[in-house]
């Protein structure tokens, strides 16, 4: 055992349990220098506003968890390419460890750091904490190439056998007593101040490893019942709501799989086999997004299908702003966009509807929507966010065809038939009867008057007409097809 400290660099793995890098450091037996760096260097994508709020809370929770082991979480800001080697040299580190990320810029940083550290006589090791399978582990049997369609990808991943078991939180941790020169959490400037728009986020979420465990337990104990049939109903509490905890690494997918298996074996879950399989496939969809990001690193910037490279998108700042504010005149779309602003999240079915509306009803470039979600989602994820937007736009992997245009009225009638979701987030329509809640402009004048709805005043008229918008979208699509 060496007394030269081990430097543990936390990134998207803000937890103690099932943290292979932290486990490796603990096993080495040397004092730990635990740090988080707010990355302000290179071309790594900075977090959006909602993610910055969550990061503040998550770092506070991680610092408390480490402090119970008498270990300090040191906070720094700047370029990790400079900070990590400098800190390793100043503290005389014998080893630097971290858990892997999968974007091209992050991989390039990690590779350069390993070389730099090695040149300075410091070993560096990296591990997988974020995925069930790493992207290079699942390849087409016949081609050896990455999969482009989800179903064969997930079958191939399952065919590799049982997933690795999660690691317990390590014990016997010892912090390094030297001076790192870190910053107080508030100095990172992660919280909104003028104005403080995060009240709805605080009321909705409990960031941190303990919050993630509690959310998983509640899901397996109660909310998973009927998941396969009811997960598309935005007014119901059925979805896991684990995505932000996964995005920040407050819980890992191996822990979720193990907890589901333990609950099943103990008979402690109300889930059917179909519920469990569907939930696992949603974890698989997240895995597939990272599989795609690894082989298509420009996922947030460039369409995977080159046919869409010169698509005739329409620039309409007014329509984009109406969509962002939840003022399109389509209640299901507006409810989703207001849920996003108030809570930092949006039901998955509604995400597809609002994305389709922006892209196909308004003809606005999917990248504008992806950027808005990146800034406003607490679960903004470098793989899932652009992957999902490309899926809706018809230009990504295993994508829905472009001509699949969601009708927001029919989607509302099918998945929010009683209008409970719309009434929650668009309260100015709350008094409308169910049969008019998803298309108030079609309601008789007397019905609108009794409900206190004045179209164009208390609630906007539709900013586009559905049939005309669909016709324009298809005209753009076929014009693009002819051009290529």
In tens, the pLDDT along 77-136 reads 999 999 999 999 999 999 999 999 999 999 999 999 999 999 999 999 999 999 999 999
Percent of the chain with pLDDT over 90: 90
Q: Tell me if residue 366 is catalytic.
A: yes
Query: Residue 57: which of 204, 219, 257 has the closest Cα?
Result: 204
Give the pLDDT confidence of 176-222 residue by residue, as tens digits: 999 999 999 999 999 998 899 999 999 999 999 999 999 999 999 99
Q: Is the pLDDT of residue 1 over 60?
A: no
Q: Specify the CATH architecture of the domain 131-165+207-295.
A: Alpha Horseshoe (1.25)
Q: What is the mean pLDDT of residues 365-373?
A: 98
Domain boundaries 6-129, corresponding CATH code: 3.40.50.620
pLDDT on residue 140 = 83
Q: Tell me if residue 313 is catalytic.
A: yes
Measured distance CA(346)–CA(337) in Å, rounded: 8
Pick the CATH number of 306-483 from 2.40.50.140, 1.10.579.10, 3.40.50.2000, 3.90.380.10: 1.10.579.10
Total residue length of the chain: 484
Measured distance CA(201)–CA(347) in Å, rounded: 15
Q: Give the H or E element holding residue 39.
A: strand 32-39
Catalytic residue, chosen from 164, 302, 305, 348, is 348
Catalytic residue, chosen from 125, 134, 236, 282, is 282
Catalytic residue, chosen from 205, 389, 391, 407, is 389
Q: Which residue has the tokens 């937890």?
A: 15
Q: Do domains 131-165+207-295 and 306-483 have the same CATH topology?
A: no
Residue pair 381/247 in contact by the 8 Å Cβ criterion: yes
Q: Is the pLDDT of residue 270 over 90?
A: no
Catalytic residue, chosen from 98, 323, 366, 374, is 366
pLDDT on residue 484 = 61
Percent of the chain with pLDDT over 70: 99
Residue pair 282/45 in contact by the 8 Å Cβ criterion: no
Give the pLDDT confidence of 6-61 residue by residue, as tens digits: 999 999 999 999 999 999 999 999 999 999 999 998 899 999 999 999 999 999 99
Going across the sheet that includes 6-10, the strands are 73-78, 32-39, 6-10, 95-99, 123-127
What's 220's DSSP letter? I
In terms of Cβ atoms closer than 10 Å to its own Cβ (0-12, 13-18, 19+), residue 279 is buried
Catalytic residue, chosen from 9, 54, 154, 285, is 285
Catalytic residue, chosen from 98, 154, 313, 372, is 313
Q: Tell me if residue 154 is catalytic.
A: no
Domain ranges of the chain: 6-129, 131-165+207-295, 306-483
* Average confidence score pLDDT of the chain: 95
Q: Tell me if residue 282 is catalytic.
A: yes
Residue 400 — very low, low, confident or very high, per pLDDT cuts 50/70/90?
confident
């Amino acid at each position: 055992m060496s007394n030269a400290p081990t430097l543990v660099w936390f990134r998207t793995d803000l937890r103690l349990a099932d943290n292979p890098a932290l486990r490796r450091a603990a096993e080495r037996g040397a004092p730990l220098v635990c740090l988080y760096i707010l990355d302000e260097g290179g071309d790594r994508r900075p977090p959006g506003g909602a993610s910055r709020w969550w990061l503040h809370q998550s770092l506070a929770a991680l610092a408390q968890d480490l402090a119970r082991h008498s270990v300090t979480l040191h906070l720094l800001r700047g370029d990790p390419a400079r900070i990590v080697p400098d800190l390793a040299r100043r503290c005389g580190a014998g080893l630097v460890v971290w858990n892997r990320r999968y974007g091209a810029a992050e991989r390039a940083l990690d590779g350069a750091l390993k070389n730099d550290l090695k040149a300075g006589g410091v070993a560096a090791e990296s591990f997988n904490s974020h995925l069930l399978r790493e992207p290079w582990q699942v390849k087409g049997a016949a081609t050896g190439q990455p999969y482009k369609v989800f179903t064969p990808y997930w079958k191939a991943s399952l065919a590799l056998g049982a997933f690795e078991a999660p690691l317990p939180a390590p014990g016997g941790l010892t912090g390094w007593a030297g001076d790192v020169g870190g910053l107080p959490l508030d100095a990172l400037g992660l919280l909104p101040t003028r104005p403080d728009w995060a009240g709805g986020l605080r009321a909705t979420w409990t960031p941190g490893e303990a919050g993630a465990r509690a959310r998983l337990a509640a899901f397996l104990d109660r909310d998973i019942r009927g998941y396969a049939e009811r997960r598309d109903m935005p007014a119901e509490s059925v979805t896991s709501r684990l995505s932000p905890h996964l995005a920040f690494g407050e819980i890992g997918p191996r822990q979720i799989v193990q907890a589901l298996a333990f609950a099943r074996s103990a008979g402690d879950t109300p889930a059917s086999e179909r519920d469990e399989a569907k939930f696992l496939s949603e974890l698989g969809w997240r895995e597939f997004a990272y599989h795609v990001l690894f082989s298509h690193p420009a996922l947030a910037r460039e369409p995977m299908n080159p046919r869409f490279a010169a698509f005739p998108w329409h620039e309409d700042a007014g329509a984009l702003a109406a969509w962002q504010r939840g003022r399109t005149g389509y209640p299901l779309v507006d409810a989703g966009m207001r849920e996003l602003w108030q809570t930092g999240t949006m039901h998955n079915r509604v995400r597809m509807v609002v994305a389709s509306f922006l892209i196909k009803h308004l003809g606005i470039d999917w990248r504008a929507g992806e950027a808005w979600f990146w800034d406003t989602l607490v679960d903004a994820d470098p793989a899932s966010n652009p992957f999902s937007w490309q899926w809706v736009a018809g230009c990504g992997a295993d994508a829905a065809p472009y001509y699949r245009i969601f009708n927001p009225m029919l989607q509302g009638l099918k998945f929010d038939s009683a209008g409970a979701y719309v009434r929650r987030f668009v309260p100015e329509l709350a008094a409308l009867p169910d049969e008019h809640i998803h298309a108030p402009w079609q309601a008789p004048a007397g019905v609108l008057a009794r409900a206190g709805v004045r179209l164009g005043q208390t609630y906007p008229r539709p900013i586009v007409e559905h049939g005309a918008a669909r016709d324009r979208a298809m005209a753009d699509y076929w014009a693009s097809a002819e051009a290529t």
